[in-house]
Amino acid sequence: MKYAYYPGCALETTAKEYDHSTRLVARHLGVELWEIPDWNCCGASAAHRVDHLLALALPARVLALAEEQGLDIVVPCAACYNRMKAVEKAVRESEEMRKTIEEIIERSYKGSVSARSVLDVLINQVGLESIKAQVKRPLAGLKLAAYYGCLWVRPPCITAFDDPEDPMTMDRLVEALGGEAVPWPYKTECCGASLPTARTDVGLGMVYQILRRAQEAGAVAIVTACPICHLNLDMRQKQVEAAFQEEFNLPIFYFTELMAVAFGYSPKEAGLTTHFVNPLPLLESSLERRETA
Amino acid sequence: MERLSLSQALSSGQAFKERIEAASGVTLSRCYQCGKCTAGCPASSGMDYGPRGIIRLLQLGLYEKAMRSNTPWICAGCQTCYVRCPRDIDMPKLMEAVRQEACRRGIVGDKKTEVFDRAFLRSIERFGRPHEASIMGEYNLLTGQPFKDIMSGPAMLARGKLALLPSRIKNISEIKKIFARVRAKGGEAR
Ligand code: SF4
Ligand code: SF4
C-alpha cells in the first residue's frame, strides 16, 4: 500500500509529534508514505479568506505533484485536506476552472488523484481488524473523548467522510485499541482555527467549551486528528484555564500516538514528550493499573 | 433609530447582488431567516450581526453594512451552519464572497484577522511555507500588541515547536509566479 504524503506546515513545527507518530504507525502497518518533494503550504484559511483563485492554486500544485506519480495523497491536517478537497470539487465541476488552475500553476493537473485523511486510510484501508491484531498494550480503563472538529467531516459534499454531526471512525478506533470512547456532544464543534490567535477574545471561549464538555462526559483525555485542533486544545489550555478560572489538565492526544502506545512503543518513541499538557502521568497510571490488575 | 431607504439601496445594488450570488453560488432569496445558522454558530458571541443577520442585510440590499460588519471576518469557516441549513445555503462561501468583495474595495471588517492573513500570505510568497515566528512578529507589530503570546515563545522553542529560521522550499520561484499570475488575473493576493 503506497501513498503520497503531504505533511503540511504544522507537522514540521507545532505538530511534529503527529508527523512522527503517523510515520511510525504507517510503517508498522505496512503503509508506505512517499513524502511529496518540495511541497508548499496549502494557503490555509488566509488564502481562503482573501482570494478564491489563490486558495485553489496553492493546494493544486501539491495535487499535481502527487498526480505525476499517480498516487493518492494522505493528509494529516483537516484544513489542508479540506482545501485539497475543494480543489478536487472545483475541477470536477468546471473544465474551465481546471484549465485556469493549470495555467496558474504551470503544471499539468487532471484531477485524477484524491486526498485522503490519515484516519481514513488507516481505519478504512488497513482496517480495524488488522489494527486490533497489532495491539499489545490495550488502553484499558482510559475514557477518551474522540474529537473530530470541523473540516474532516464538513461540508459532506466536499469531504465525503463519515457523518457530519456524529462521526464514529475515531470512536471505533479508540475501542479497537482497548480504550473507552465516551459519548459527548462537542465532537464536531469548532476549535476556533486561527481565532484563538487572531481574536483571542472569541477563540478562547470556543476552546473552553470543548474542554468543558469532554470533562463533563467523564473523559480523562481528548483524542484529535488535526494539528490545529491539537494546538488550540493543548497549547492554549493553560491560557483558557486562566481566563475561565477552571482547571482541566486534560491531555490531548493524536490518535496516531495512542496507536503507537497500544502497539507497544514507549511513550517517548511515540513522541509524547513534547506536549504542553503532560500526558505521561496518565499513561503511566493506566499501565500500572493494568499490571496490578 | 437609524433610518434606511430600502428601495434606493435595492435598486443601486443590483450589480453587487449579482456578483455576490455568482461568487458564492448562493441565491439570497432562498434563505427564510429561520436563524438556525446563528443558533449553532460557535463564534457568534464575537459577531455583530451573525450569519442570519448578514444574509438579511444582503437581502435588503444593505451591502455596505454587510461589508463593514465583523461577522464575515470572525467566521471560522467551520461549516456548521451550512450542514444544518434547511435551505442549503452555503453560508461560509457567502461570507468568503463578502470578505473578498470588501477586500477589493479596501474595506476591512476586522483589522486583526486581516493583518494576520496578509502576514501569513506574505510569508508563503517568500518561503513557500509560513514562518510562524516572523508572522507573529509582524502581526503583533501591526496590531499594536507587541507582547501578545510572547510567553509561549520559549515554551514552544523548548519543545522544538518553533523554528527560528523559515523552512524554504527549493522551487520558490514557482510559488512567486503563482502569486503573480493570480494578481494578473485580478486576484487579491497582495
Ligand atoms: S439556517 Fe439557512 S435558511 Fe435559516 S436563517 Fe440561516 S441561512 Fe437562512
Ligand atoms: S461557518 Fe462561520 S458562520 Fe457558519 S457556523 Fe461556522 S463560524 Fe458560524
Using CA atoms in the order A130, A132, A134, A137, what is the torsion angle rounded to 10 degrees?
Answer: 170
Q: Are B110 and B118 in contact (CB under 8 A)?
A: no
A163 CA distance to ligand 1 centroid (A)?
Answer: 21
In the DSSP assignment, the letter for residue A13 is T
Residue A123 lies in a domain: no
H/E stretch holding A221 reads strand A221-224
Residues A66 and A183 in one domain: no
Q: Is B9 on the interface with A (CB under 8 A)?
A: no
Residues A150 and A279 in one domain: yes
Q: How far apart are CA A238 and CA A232, in angstroms?
A: 10
Residue B148 has pLDDT above 80, yes or no: no
H/E stretch holding A144 reads strand A143-146
Cα–chain center distance at A82:
12
Residue A101 has pLDDT above 80, yes or no: yes
Contacts of A291 (CB under 8 A, 6+ apart): none
What is the amino acid identity at position A151?
A: L
Contacts of A42 (CB under 8 A, 6+ apart): A8, A58, A59, A62, A79, A80, A83, A84
Q: What is the ipTM of this complex?
A: 0.84
Q: Provide the grid cell at A143.
A: 475514557
Residue A16 lies in a domain: yes
Residue B31 has pLDDT above 60, yes or no: yes
Residues A24 and A165 in one domain: no
Closest chain A residue to B145, measured at CA: A198
Residue A105 lies in a domain: yes
Ligand 1 atom at minimum distance from B81 CA? 1
- Last-in-domain residue among A58, A83, A117: A117
Q: Provide the grid cell at A281.
A: 502521568
Q: How far apart are CA A290 and CA A276, in angstroms?
A: 26
Residues A179 and A106 in one domain: no
Q: Is B157 on the interface with A (CB under 8 A)?
A: no
Closest chain B residue to A46, measured at CA: B117
Best probe residue, ligand 2, of B38, B73, B79 (max atoms within 8 Å of C-beta): B79
How many other C-beta atoms lie within 10 A of the C-beta of residue A60? 31
Residue A127 lies in a domain: no
pLDDT value of position B51 = 98
A209 CB neighbours in chain B (<8 A) are 42
| Total number of domains constituting chain A | 2
Q: Is B108 on the interface with A (CB under 8 A)?
A: no
Q: Provide the grid cell at A268.
A: 517517548
Q: Is B74 on the interface with A (CB under 8 A)?
A: yes
* pLDDT confidence tier of residue B114, bands split at 50, 70 and 90: confident
Residues A59 and A153 in one domain: no
Residues A80 and A158 in one domain: no
In the DSSP assignment, the letter for residue A126 is I
In this structure, the residues whose C-beta lies within 6 A of any atom of ligand 1 are: B 31-37, 51-52, 55, 85-87, 89, 91
Distances (CA, A) of A222 to A164, A215, A253: 19, 9, 6
CATH number at residue A85: 1.20.1050.140
Task: Output B46 or B152, whichever has higher pLDDT.
Answer: B46
Q: How far apart are CA A175 and CA A140, in angstroms?
A: 9
Could you tell me the residue range of the domain that residue A94 belongs to?
2-117
Residue B146 has pLDDT above 90, yes or no: no
Can you give the C-alpha Rg of chain B in angstroms? 19
Q: Are A100 and A53 in contact (CB under 8 A)?
A: yes
* pLDDT confidence tier of residue A161, bands split at 50, 70 and 90: confident
**Mean pLDDT across A114-119:** 95
pLDDT value of position B164 = 66
Residue A226 lies in a domain: yes
Residue A293 has pLDDT above 80, yes or no: no
pLDDT value of position B144 = 65
pLDDT value of position B36 = 98
Give the distance from residue B176's alpha carbon to the nearest chain A alpha carbon, in angstroms.
10
Residues A92 and A216 in one domain: no
Residue A62 buriedness (CB in 10 A; 0-12 / 13-18 / 19+): buried
pLDDT value of position B181 = 94
Q: Is B63 on the interface with A (CB under 8 A)?
A: no
* pLDDT confidence tier of residue B160, bands split at 50, 70 and 90: confident
DSSP-based three-state secondary structure for A180: strand
Q: How far apart are CA B136 and CA A78, in angstroms?
A: 22
Residue A124 lies in a domain: no
Residues A157 and A232 in one domain: yes
Residue A148 has pLDDT above 90, yes or no: yes
B57 CA distance to ligand 1 centroid (A)?
Answer: 13
Residue tagged 477552571 (cell numbers): A246
**Lowest mean pLDDT, pick from A2-6, A149-153, A279-283, B117-121:** B117-121
- Last-in-domain residue among A64, A86, A117: A117
DSSP-based three-state secondary structure for B125: helix
B 135-154: CB under 8 A from A: 139, 148-149, 152
Residues A72 and A144 in one domain: no
pLDDT value of position B189 = 52
Closest chain B residue to A86, measured at CA: B93
Residues A166 and A269 in one domain: yes
In the DSSP assignment, the letter for residue A36 is P
Q: Give start and end residues of each alpha helix (H) in B62-131.
A: 63-68, 71-74, 80-84, 91-104, 111-127
Residues A109 and A160 in one domain: no
Task: Output B81 or B136, whichever has higher pLDDT.
Answer: B81
- Last-in-domain residue among A117, A148, A163: A117
Residue A73 lies in a domain: yes
Residues A77 and A111 in one domain: yes
Residue A291 has pLDDT above 70, yes or no: no
Q: How far apart are CA B138 and CA B59, in angstroms?
A: 38
Residue A141 buriedness (CB in 10 A; 0-12 / 13-18 / 19+): middle
Q: How far apart are CA B137 and CA A152, in angstroms?
A: 31
CATH number at residue A178: 3.40.50.11810
Strand partners, A5: A35, A74
pLDDT value of position B8 = 64
Residue A126 lies in a domain: no
Closest among A238, A196, A240, A223 to A283, alpha carbons compared = A223
pLDDT value of position B116 = 81
Residues in chain B: 190
Cα–chain center distance at A206:
18
